[in-house]
Structure 1
Amino acid sequence: MQTFLIILLVIFAGATLFILAKGVIGMAQGKDITGMRSQELMRKRVLFQAVAIILAILLLLVASN
């Protein structure tokens, strides 16, 4: 169970990092005039980050038992 949670945590942390980098690169290029793409990426980043935090809490709970 711990191994599965660690793998999921790494996947969601990596997804968060990927979306963050994609957003920063998109902002640096200045192609998104309206900001709609930036908002979409921000929502995805927050979602992936929340899932990663929940997985980290579950991992700590499983490890403490």
Structure 2
Amino acid sequence: MNTFLVLLLIAAMIATLVALVRGIVTFLKTTEAELKGGDGPSASALKSNKMMQYRIFFQALAVLIVVVLLFAAGRT
């Protein structure tokens, strides 16, 4: 059980890192023309925002897995 949780934790941490990097790259690709456009958020801004939401989700998942691992370690 602990091995499975550790592997799940590693997967969640990697997913967090991937979402973070993709969000930053998308943010950096935003052009000045997109920023000055008054038609609402651009497609790249929406994608960057979505990537950061994924990062928060995966980060929360990783923290939850750590909590479960700590509880499991305390019971043995």
Q: TM-score, normalised by structure 2?
A: 0.77
Whichever residue aligns with residue 47 of structure 1, its letter is: F
Residue matched to 2:39? none
**Percent of pairs identical after alignment?**
33
Residue identity opposite 1:20 in structure 2: L
Q: CA deviation at 1:62?
A: 0.4
Partner of 2:71: 61
Residue 28 of structure 1 and its aligned partner are, at CA, apart by 1.6
2:25 maps to a residue whose letter is I
Unaligned runs of 5+ in 1: none
Give 2:70's aligned amino acid: L
State the partner residue of 1:17: 17
Structure 1 runs (4+) deviating above 4 angstroms are none
Letter in 1 for 2:26: G
The 5-angstrom pairing of residues 3-14 of structure 1 reads: 3-14=3-14
Deviations 1:10-32 (A, max 9, x none): 0001000001011111112226x
- When the two chains are superposed, the root-mean-square deviation of aligned CA atoms in Å is 1.2
Deviation string 1:25-45 (CA, Å, 9 cap, x unpaired) is 1112226x4211111111111
Q: How many residues align?
A: 64
Q: Greater CA radius of gyration, 1 or 2?
A: 2
Equivalent in the alignment of 2:58: 48
**TM-score (normalizing by structure 1):** 0.89
